Structure 1
Amino acid sequence: MSAKHHKVRVGISIGDFNGIGPEIIMKSLKDKAITEFFTPIIFGSGKLFTYQKNIFKLQHNFNYITEATQAVGDKINMVNLIKENVNVDLGKPTEESTKMAIDSLQAATEALMKGEIDVLVTAPINKDEMMKHGFAHAGHTGYLEEKFGKKGLMFLVTDDLKVAVSTHHIPIAQVAESISKEKIKKQIKMLNQCLIEDFQIPRPKIAVLGLNPHSGDGGVIGKEEIEIISPAIKELFDNGVLTFGPFPADSFFQPVKYKNFDAVLAMYHDQGLAPFKTLAYEEGVNYTAGLPFIRTSPDHGVAYDIAGQNIADETSFTEAIFTAIKIFKNRKEYNDLMTNRMQPRKNAAANGVDEDLPQEKHS
C-alpha cells in the first residue's frame, strides 16, 4: 500500500495521568470520524481512562487489546497495561502515576521498534519524578536516543516556525562547554536532511543563533561565535548547505526575520523555546529529529494546576498526532523516490554499463 493510502498506526503514551495527559488524548480523539484518518493505539489502562472520560463527560468506546498487533483500524485501541483499579489524584504526581508513565512509554517504544505502530506521540511526563523512580533520562529525547542508538535533535515545529536546539536539558552553566564546531556541523546537517526528507523542503535555508548577547559583539562579549559557530556555518555553506548567521537571538524572532528561513538552530533550550512557545504555543509540536523512528509530543508540560478542570486545550496534542502522520508519509515518499531513482543505475551496473561515462552512439 502506498504511503498516501496507508492508514498510519499512531501509538500514544499517556504521560503522567495525574496531569492533563488523558484529558488531551481523549479530547484529540473525540470526533467519531477520527479513525478514518489513522488508527489510534493508546498504551494505558482501560479503568483509568473510563474513570477520566466520565470526569470530562466524553463518550469514548475503547477496543481493549493486550498488544498493538491486535489493533482494529476503525476503533480507538487501548493496550491494557494494567487491569487493576488505579488511584487517581489529579493535580500532583504519585508513585503510581509516575510508574505508569514509565511503563506506557517503554511499551509504546518497544512497539515502535518492532514495527507494530508507525509513529509515537507522547503525552507530557514529569521528568523529575520519573528520574526519582529509576528512569535514567531527563526527558523523552535522551531515552529514545539510547533505545534507537542514535543522537537526535529537539525540534519544535509549526507550519511557519521551526526551531531546533543544540543543547537540550542541561544547566546554563554547562552550555558553552557543550558546544563545538563539529557538533554544530553535525546538527545542522541533521537538520538540513530532516527538512528535506520529513518536511519536503528541497533547499532548506537554516539560520543559526549566536551563543552570547549580540552574538558576542565581535568578541567583546564572548568568542564562541568567532571560534566555533561562524567557522561551522562557513564550512557548511561552502559545501552547499544553505546556513546563515550567527544572528543575535534578542532580535531574531521578528516575523520579518525568522520567516526568511525554513528553520533555526538555537544554542540552548530557553534561547529557542521561549520565543517559540510565545509565538506558537497552542499549535507547537515537539519533534525528535534525526532518529530512525518518528516521535512527536505537544510543546507543553503536565499542567498539574489545571488537571481535572476540563479546561486543558488539546490543540498541541492534536497537532502532534497529525504532524507525526505527515512526517511518516513524507519520509516514506522520499525513501520510495530515492529507491526508484537508484534502481535504473543498479540495473545499468548489472548490465555492465557505467552511467557516468558517455555511451557510444549508434547510427
Structure 2
Amino acid sequence: MKESDKIIVGISIGDANGIGIEVILKTFEDARVLEFCTPVVFGSTKVMSYYKKILNSNIAVYGIDNLNDVLPNKFNVFNVWKENVDIEPGKATEISGRYAFKSLESATSALKNGAIDVLITAPINKENIQSKEFNFNGHTEFLESKLQGKSLMILMADSLRVGLITGHVPLKDVADLITQERIMEKVEIMHKTLKSDFSIRKPKIAVLGLNPHAGDNGLIGKEDEEIVKPTIDKCRENNMLVLGPYAADGFFGSETYKQFDGVLAMYHDQGLAPFKTLSFGKGVNFTAGLTKIRTSPDHGTAYDIAGQNKSNHQSFTEAMFTAIKIFKNRSEFNELNEKKLVAKGSK
C-alpha cells in the first residue's frame, strides 16, 4: 500500500476533561500504528500538549490548519480552534461540553465530505454537550441526523455482536417502540452489515424477547407472541436466517450467543449489561446502517481517573482497528457487487 493510499482515520476528542485524549495519545505512542492508517485528531495542539505533559508522552504532534495538509506517518492534529481552553480533568464543565461538540461537528463534516475515511469518537458527556446544535441522546442519534441511512448501535468484541432495537430511550417507552416495522428494520440493517462489513455470507441472527422468559407464551405480556414472533417469521420468509425470541437471561448464561453471528436486544441494558460483563475493556461500539463508518470505545469519560495516567487504551485501539477492517471489508463488498452488476449488464 502506498503512503497516500492509507486509510485516513478521523478522531473526535470527546470531553477534554475525561480520558478521551489520554487513550488517543496512548494508542499512538506505538509508532507502528502509523503503518496501518493516517490519523487526524480534531481538536487543538494546545490541548494535546496539556495531556502530553501529564502522560510524559514523546509523540510528535503535527499541527495543521487545513485538511489538505494531512501527512502520512504523522500524528496529525487539525486545529478546530486556536484559543486557550480551560481543562479540568475529572470535572463535567460547560466548557468541556462545548468544545467536545466543536470537535465532533468538525469531524462529522469531514467524514461527510470525504476528507476522512472513518470516524472514531472518544467519549462525550451526554449532559454537558447539550445545546441548540446538539439536542440528541448520544453520538448515534447525532450521526444519523447528519449522515445517510438508518442507524443500528452494535457493541462488538471478537465474534460477539449485540445490536439494539431501541437505543437511548427511557425504559418506560420501550414497549411502545417495539413494532413489527422497527424490528424488521433493525434485522435488515444487522443482516446487511454482517454481509458487507464483516464478510459473513449467510448471517445467523438471534432476536431476544421483550418480556421475562420471552413472555412465557403470553403469560407475561403479549408483545412477544403478537409482535416479535410474527416478525421473525416474516424475516425467514425474506430469506434471512433469524431465530427467536430468546429469553435474555438464559441466552447469555448458557452461551447460546456463540451460535450466532449477531444478536438483537430489545433495549439498551438488556443487550449491554451482559455484553460488558463478557467483554468490558475490549469492546467496540459500531454504528451500523449509515453510509459512513464510525466506531468508539465501549467506555465513558471515566472522570474518576481522568488526568491521572490510569486509563486503559485497549478499547480505543480496538475501535480504531475495527473501523479500518470494516472500511476494507465494505470496499471489497461494494467492488464485488459492482463487478457482478457490470457482468450481468454485459450479457
1:89 corresponding residue in structure 2:
88
State the TM-score, normalizing by the size of structure 1.
0.93
Q: Secondary structure at the match of 1:152?
A: strand
Supply the AA of the counterpart residue of 2:147: F
1:145 corresponding residue in structure 2:
144
1:166 corresponding residue in structure 2:
165
Supply the AA of the counterpart residue of 1:157: M
1:343 CA displacement: 1.1
- Distance across 2 between alignment mates of 1:132 and 1:6: 38
1:101 corresponding residue in structure 2:
100
2:182 corresponding residue in structure 1:
183
1:314 corresponding residue in structure 2:
313
- Distance across 2 between alignment mates of 1:344 and 1:149: 28
CA deviation vs aligned residue, 1:49-85 (integer Å, no higher than 9, x gap): 1011110111111111113221001101000112222
1:237 aligns with 2:227: no
1:250 CA displacement: 1.0
1:302 aligns with 2:301: yes
2:75 corresponding residue in structure 1:
76
Tell whether the 8 Å contact from 2:148 to 2:291 is kept in structure 1 after alignment: no
Structure 2 unmatched ranges of 5 or more? none
1:133 CA displacement: 6.6
Report the aligned-residue RMSD. 1.4
Tell whether the 8 Å contact from 1:157 to 1:163 is kept in structure 2 after alignment: yes
1:134 CA displacement: 4.7
Q: Secondary structure at the match of 1:301?
A: coil
Name which one, 1 or 2, has greater alpha-carbon Rg: 1
Supply the AA of the counterpart residue of 2:66: E
2:52 corresponding residue in structure 1:
53
- Distance across 1 between alignment mates of 2:254 and 2:41: 38
1:116 aligns with 2:81: no
Supply the AA of the counterpart residue of 1:156: L
Structure 1 unmatched ranges of 5 or more? 349-363
State the TM-score, normalizing by the size of structure 2.
0.97
Q: Secondary structure at the match of 2:153?
A: strand
- Distance across 1 between alignment mates of 2:126 and 2:205: 30
1:272 corresponding residue in structure 2:
271
Distance verdict in 2 for CA 1:266–1:21, change over 3 Å: same
CA deviation vs aligned residue, 1:90-139 (integer Å, no higher than 9, x gap): 10122221111000000000000111000000000001111157521110
- Distance across 1 between alignment mates of 2:119 and 2:69: 17
- Distance across 2 between alignment mates of 1:156 and 1:75: 30
1:239 CA displacement: 2.2
CA deviation vs aligned residue, 1:130-177 (integer Å, no higher than 9, x gap): 115752111011111110143200111112210000001110000000
Aligned residues: 346
Q: Secondary structure at the match of 2:127?
A: helix
2:198 corresponding residue in structure 1:
199
Higher mean C-alpha deviation, range 65-74 or range 206-215: 65-74
Q: Secondary structure at the match of 2:62?
A: strand
Higher mean C-alpha deviation, range 306-315 or range 253-262: 253-262
- Distance across 2 between alignment mates of 1:36 and 1:287: 23
Structure 2 matches for 1:280-295, cutoff 5 A?
A: 280-295=279-294
2:258 corresponding residue in structure 1:
259
CA deviation vs aligned residue, 1:168-199 (integer Å, no higher than 9, x gap): 11100000001101110111011001000000
- Distance across 1 between alignment mates of 2:68 and 2:120: 17
- Distance across 1 between alignment mates of 2:89 and 2:58: 20
1:256 CA displacement: 3.4
1:7 aligns with 2:13: no
Distance verdict in 2 for CA 1:10–1:81, change over 3 Å: same
Supply the AA of the counterpart residue of 2:16: F
1:323 corresponding residue in structure 2:
322
Structure 1 segments, 4+ long, off by >2 Å, are none
- Distance across 1 between alignment mates of 2:180 and 2:132: 36
Tell whether the 8 Å contact from 2:97 to 2:130 is kept in structure 1 after alignment: no
Q: Secondary structure at the match of 2:14?
A: coil
- Distance across 1 between alignment mates of 2:256 and 2:313: 30
Tell whether the 8 Å contact from 1:99 to 1:133 is kept in structure 2 after alignment: no
- Distance across 1 between alignment mates of 2:63 and 2:131: 31
Supply the AA of the counterpart residue of 1:155: I
Supply the AA of the counterpart residue of 2:332: E
Q: Secondary structure at the match of 1:219?
A: coil
1:22 corresponding residue in structure 2:
21
